[in-house]
Chains A and B, each alone.
Chain A
């Protein structure tokens, strides 16, 4: 295994992009992701890549559009308010089928909000914050190592499907340091991109575009994209911990999943049999893992740094087969494992009562 080095999440992510062959980065300062552009400003010139501090997030995402359309592996990063500005660009990238990676190190909103960690951009990330019928795969790392691994994977997925891919982190993951093993740089040549506009004339010339004025054609175009999105469903992935004998299934992603894991361990010491499903992809959602658990556990407890966004996907997957409880803190507040444990105890107590009621009814 490669030697492990201590790296900050944001910088590790920047390095991962470079290892994956990204040679174009455009960004704009915003806390808590400032280390990414700063890192790219230092590193890109040394690997013959491009770093641009754009005049705005709008410009940055459109620089990525141009670079991706010209065949480069391109990335931009920002945090919540800046990601809102990028939505138009993401919609265009999806419409023109341009592979690219967009990183959101989420902070509290709405509006200017705050700068502390949050997960309140889940709807925006998974439902498509821009206009039109489009989808973007969303990776949700929960460690600095995964900031590296999933970012590298994001570039591969982007090229494989010709689609923008989101990496959704948060202030904790961006700012924290952990030991990481950096994988070797991608050595294989980048996938061929015959569609890229690299300069041509005549019948072989290429056009990057998302305009289809004829509704018949635009519908066809959307159906073609929908087929692609259906193929992407196979990307769905989750990590499960302690689900073998679990009575309560915790569901959490990103940094929150680690706090929740702490609570899960505490609960087990008290005899509450809790397990954890951690979605690694938020779109496509690991519906199957959740659905499968729904047949076995007594209850779900979803924990998020929001007032309840992913919980809707859990409810859709559970489909009424078990009660789905929710615990969330928002605005940059991060719950302690003890807080989550309290909620777990409540859920466990409720289950006990229901069992008694059920037994009574049977008698």
Chain B
């Protein structure tokens, strides 16, 4: 199975980073991966999004049109990308910044107050990690130990102090799914 994932939010929410971690974790699972960001003017103040493809065979198109899963971190992204998820796909909605109600009834919607949960773990800025943890748990695309390893690999020495907090946030997302 090939997973085609869209991650979206506004600039500064770390959605591109979230995507690179997912791709990296996919690689650790021995899968073929690609990551493609939105770029340029869109980044400034506006929306940011990326497409991640993970599968057993060489990635055909890095551009994702009909996603098998998506994480939307704010209201505008929900509006823009919910229509691009295939029926039956997983949609993680950050209800801290987006409405809880989703127009489509044919998706597996995970309503997740990512910012609140992140604050509870100690750092409101790790909402992206909470969402990623929940998304991984909901879809089973990658295992938590590989996500944690990806995070470790991607964290440069000068950011070491953020590592523990981000790990907690990833796990918090996973736990939330357990409860769901």
Q: Is A4 part of the binding interface, using a Cβ–Cβ cutoff of 8 Å?
A: yes
Find B33's partner among A32, A178, A261 (CB 8 Å cutoff).
A178
Determine whether the beta carbon of A176 is less than 8 Å from that of B60: no
Given contacts A31-B40, A32-B39, A175-B39, contact A334 B63 (CB under 8 A): yes
Find B23's partner among A4, A6, A334 (CB 8 Å cutoff).
A6
Determine the chain A residues whose CB is within 8 A of the CB of B66 once the complex forms: 338
- Encode B34-52 as 1/0 by CB contact (under 8 A) with A: 1111011100000000000
Interface size class of B (residues with CB under 8 A): 20 to 34
Interface size class of A (residues with CB under 8 A): 20 to 34
Find A176's partner among B27, B35, B40, B65 (CB 8 Å cutoff).
B35
Determine whether the beta carbon of B39 is less than 8 Å from that of A262: no
Q: Is A172 part of the binding interface, using a Cβ–Cβ cutoff of 8 Å?
A: yes
Cβ < 8 Å to A, chain B residues 135-169: none
Given contacts A6-B20, A31-B39, A179-B27, contact A172 B62 (CB under 8 A): yes
Find A178's partner among B39, B40, B41, B59 (CB 8 Å cutoff).
B59
Find B34's partner among A178, A336, A338 (CB 8 Å cutoff).
A178
Q: Give the nearest-CB partner of B38 in chain A.
A: A175
Find B40's partner among A4, A32, A262, A338 (CB 8 Å cutoff).
A32
Determine whether the beta carbon of B61 is less than 8 Å from that of A115: no
Q: Is A225 part of the binding interface, using a Cβ–Cβ cutoff of 8 Å?
A: no
Q: Is B32 part of the binding interface, using a Cβ–Cβ cutoff of 8 Å?
A: yes
Q: Is A53 part of the binding interface, using a Cβ–Cβ cutoff of 8 Å?
A: no
Q: Is B171 part of the binding interface, using a Cβ–Cβ cutoff of 8 Å?
A: no
Given contacts A115-B40, A171-B39, A337-B65, contact A262 B34 (CB under 8 A): no
Determine whether the beta carbon of B20 is less than 8 Å from that of A262: no
Determine whether the beta carbon of B61 is less than 8 Å from that of A258: yes
Determine whether the beta carbon of A115 is less than 8 Å from that of B39: yes
Determine the chain B residues whose CB is within 8 A of the CB of A258 once the complex forms: 59-62
Q: Is B24 part of the binding interface, using a Cβ–Cβ cutoff of 8 Å?
A: yes
* Closest Cβ–Cβ distance, residue A145 to chain B (whole Å): 10
Determine whether the beta carbon of B65 is less than 8 Å from that of A115: no
A179–B20 alpha-carbon span in the complex (Å):
11
Cβ < 8 Å to B, chain A residues 289-319: none
Q: Is A265 part of the binding interface, using a Cβ–Cβ cutoff of 8 Å?
A: yes
A160–B66 alpha-carbon span in the complex (Å):
45
* Closest Cβ–Cβ distance, residue A134 to chain B (whole Å): 33
A262–B41 alpha-carbon span in the complex (Å):
29
Q: Give the nearest-CB partner of B37 in chain A.
A: A175
Q: Give the nearest-CB partner of B31 in chain A.
A: A179
- Encode B3-47 as 1/0 by CB contact (under 8 A) with A: 000000000000000001001100100001111110111000000
Determine whether the beta carbon of A172 is less than 8 Å from that of B23: no
- Encode B79-113 as 1/0 by CB contact (under 8 A) with A: 00000000000000000000000000000000000
A73–B63 alpha-carbon span in the complex (Å):
34
Determine the chain B residues whose CB is within 8 A of the CB of A334 once the complex forms: 63
* Closest Cβ–Cβ distance, residue B10 to chain A (whole Å): 19
Determine whether the beta carbon of B20 is less than 8 Å from that of A177: yes
Determine the chain B residues whose CB is within 8 A of the CB of A172 once the complex forms: 36, 62-63
Determine the chain B residues whose CB is within 8 A of the CB of A177 once the complex forms: 20, 23, 34-36
Q: Give the nearest-CB partner of A116 in chain B.
A: B40
Determine the chain B residues whose CB is within 8 A of the CB of A31 once the complex forms: 39-40
A253–B159 alpha-carbon span in the complex (Å):
40
* Closest Cβ–Cβ distance, residue B91 to chain A (whole Å): 20
Find B63's partner among A178, A179, A336 (CB 8 Å cutoff).
A336
* Closest Cβ–Cβ distance, residue B35 to chain A (whole Å): 4
- Encode A318-359 as 1/0 by CB contact (under 8 A) with B: 000000000000000010111000000000000000000000
Q: Give the nearest-CB partner of B34 in chain A.
A: A178
Find B60's partner among A116, A178, A265 (CB 8 Å cutoff).
A265
Q: A4-B27, A172-B63 are in contact. List 13 more A-B contacts (CB 8 A).
A: A6-B33, A6-B35, A171-B39, A172-B62, A175-B37, A176-B35, A176-B62, A177-B20, A177-B23, A177-B35, A178-B62, A255-B62, A336-B63
The 6 closest A-B pairs by CB, nearest first: A336-B65, A177-B35, A115-B40, A176-B36, A262-B61, A262-B60
Q: List 13 A-B contacts (CB under 8 A).
A: A6-B23, A6-B27, A115-B40, A175-B36, A176-B36, A177-B34, A178-B62, A179-B27, A179-B33, A258-B61, A258-B62, A262-B60, A338-B66
